[in-house]
Amino acid sequence: MDSKLKGRDFITTQHWTVDELETLFALAAELKAAKRSGRSTPVLTAKTLYMICFDASTRTRNSFETGMTQLGGHAIYLSPDKMQISHGENARDTANVLSRYGDGIAIRHCAYGEGNAYLNDVAKHASIPLLNMQCDVYHPCQILADYLTIREKFGDTKGLKLGVSWTSAPNYVRPLSVPQSLILMMPRFGIDVTLAYPPEFKLMPHIEAQAKANAKAAGTKFEITHEFDDAFRDADAVIPKSWGPLVTTQDTKQGLALIEKYPTWRCSMDHMRLGKKHLIYMHPLPADRGREVTDEVIDGPQSVVYDEAENRLHVQKALMALTM
């Protein structure tokens, strides 16, 4: 394993260079090939990852736990309501104690205005790596899987167009972390990004500004539009996904009302026809079928959502192997 990355935190892809991320992608491909051939890769024998999950999860929890098992280690799932966190124990004490026991801490905490601050507080006091399983600002592991999937489908990613679009999904206000992490990392790998959303669903201003700076530095394009179709037009890949109007309002009732204001922001085959012939449909899941996307699209030949979900396992195994 690359010793230069051992002990490194992974809170956002912004903290890693393109070369460091390329090291991760190369290892992810190796580990994926090893799994498919049935070859074991016990590079984290007897090591322990503590997973603190403030929010429910299917793909994130299972891919991390399974990944640690396949690497020869052990992951312990920790729910804050079953920890002393629920009685007021602070990040400093939690970080110091877990650092004495194991080899890595992973946290999922999506509460707006709280999650990222808590992760950074734990990272400040921990002496073992802190891995972000999703917070209110970033979801870096999902974006690693997204990029690996795009690379597998297209090879060289320079000059590709990725459409990232908001979609209308009811019932709850989803975090901003997926689209924000997408627009930050994809331009750094030569991908032009079009971000589409209704005016009330803008992302954090400093994230949009950083994405523009990343694109300029990489010689790629990053544009924002308020037209749904623009994300699909001439695109190679699209990720239409819902998020909340959290920059506009943190009031849940108001947020849900704003979501219902745009019911036509739903991915259908008519939208997919706007892209290139090889256009692929991506989604981090769970997708709200019938509202975010039609069954014809998500279950159709252009959909790569299960490949994308599988790649969560491989990129996270690489991440843990390199940092722990």
Write out pLDDT tens, residues 135-179. 999 999 999 999 999 999 999 999 999 999 999 999 889 999 999
Instruction: Provide CB contacts within 8 A for 15, sequence distance 6+.
Output: 9
**Domains in the chain: boundaries:** 3-139+312-323, 142-308
- Please check the confidence at residue 313 and state whether its pLDDT lies above 90: yes
Euclidean distance between CA atoms 207 and 209, whole angstroms? 5
Neighbours of 201 (CB within 10 A): 25
Q: Would you call 64 helix, strand, or coil by DSSP?
A: helix
Euclidean distance between CA atoms 219 and 205, whole angstroms? 21
Residue 262 CA, distance from chain mean position = 25
Amino acid sitting at position 120: N
Tokens of 147: 């990029």
Determine what percent of the chain is predicted with pLDDT higher than 70. 99
Name the one residue in this structure whose structure tokens are 């009330």. Answer: 200
Under CATH, which number does the domain 142-308 receive? Answer: 3.40.50.1370
- The alpha carbon dihedral of 56, 57, 60, 64 has a sign of positive
Average pLDDT, the chain: 97
Instruction: Provide CB contacts within 8 A for 156, sequence distance 6+.
Output: 190
Equal fold, 3-139+312-323 vs 142-308:
yes
Instruction: Provide CB contacts within 8 A for 4, sequence distance 6+.
Output: 20
| β-pairing verdict for 161-165 and 192-196 | parallel
Q: What is the pLDDT of residue 319?
A: 98
Q: What is the pLDDT of residue 2?
A: 64
pLDDT (tens digit per residue) in 117-133: 999 999 999 999 999 99
- For residues 72 and 42, the answer to whether their CB atoms sit within 8 Å is yes
- Give the chain's end-to-end CA distance (angstroms, integer): 10
| CATH 3.40.50.1370 describes domain 3-139+312-323 | yes
Q: What is the pLDDT of residue 3?
A: 79
- For residues 178 and 113, the answer to whether their CB atoms sit within 8 Å is no
- For residues 162 and 193, the answer to whether their CB atoms sit within 8 Å is yes
Phi, psi dihedrals of residue 232, rounded to the nearest 5°: -95, -30
